[in-house]
A and B are shown apart, each in its own frame.
Chain A
Amino acid sequence: DAGVIQSPRHEVTEMGQEVTLRCKPISGHDYLFWYRQTMMRGLELLIYFNNNVPIDDSGMPEDRFSAKMPNASFSTLKIQPSEPRDSAVYFCASRTGTSGSDSYNEQFFGPGTRLTVL
């Protein structure tokens, strides 16, 4: 398996622009998570989905952030308009939903997207 795929790996944009981050989870995983990592706040959960439905978005910082999962193999995190304080590394992770002999509750992380907002 290719693992969790994120694109782009790096994004540099100017304040006020719209930014879209993309994630392809591991095939067969029915939970998808978006995290943000900064020096000041560490690794924060923004939102997670189960079977394409948002379950908990309490970590989304404000209305400028939105996330969608139109199908089981694709999710986006959008920031509109972007601000310099949104600069961070954004990670996507996925996992299976069923308990089994292995991998229950283990989340598999993508390589991240490093976002810089000037």
Chain B
Amino acid sequence: AQSVTQPDIHITVSEGASLELRCNYSYGATPYLFWYVQSPGQGLQLLLKYFSGDTLVQGIKGFEAEFKRSQSSFNLRKPSVHWSDAAEYFCAVGANRRGDYKLSFGAGTTVTVRA
């Protein structure tokens, strides 16, 4: 079964600074990988996803993520953080297998943005 680890529970970053959130996955083949964002009191919104091809994936809100097979990682980055990026971020992995549509989520990383 697939699993995800997000090593950082909480990150504080200054507005305008860069942000990187770590995600490590465990899966025997090339997985489907996702980053979701959850603002307080809201549901989860998809930021970006990776299935195959170019390992650098662009998403919404200026986010990007890079798939590194050798490191089993899918880290999320943003060059310049805005105050509105304060939220909780979840990395998720899905099986690359027809009929298996379960997603396994990491524990999440809470991002605080200071002025």
Q: List A residues at the B interface (Cβ < 8 Å).
A: 4, 31, 33, 42-43, 45, 48, 50, 56, 91, 93, 95, 97, 99, 104-112
Q: List B residues at the A interface (Cβ < 8 Å).
A: 32, 34, 36, 42-46, 49, 51, 90, 94, 98, 101-108
Contact present for B32 and A105 (CB under 8 Å):
yes
Q: A105-B32, A109-B45, A111-B42 are in contact. List 9 more A-B contacts (CB 8 A).
A: A33-B103, A42-B105, A45-B103, A56-B102, A91-B43, A93-B44, A105-B49, A105-B103, A112-B43
How far does the alpha carbon of A107 sit from the alpha carbon of B32 in the complex, in Å? 12
Contact present for B102 and A43 (CB under 8 Å):
no
Overall SS of chain B's interface? strand
Overall SS of chain A's interface? strand
Contact present for A42 and B45 (CB under 8 Å):
no
How far does the alpha carbon of A106 sit from the alpha carbon of B57 in the complex, in Å? 15
Shortest CB distance B15–A (Å): 27
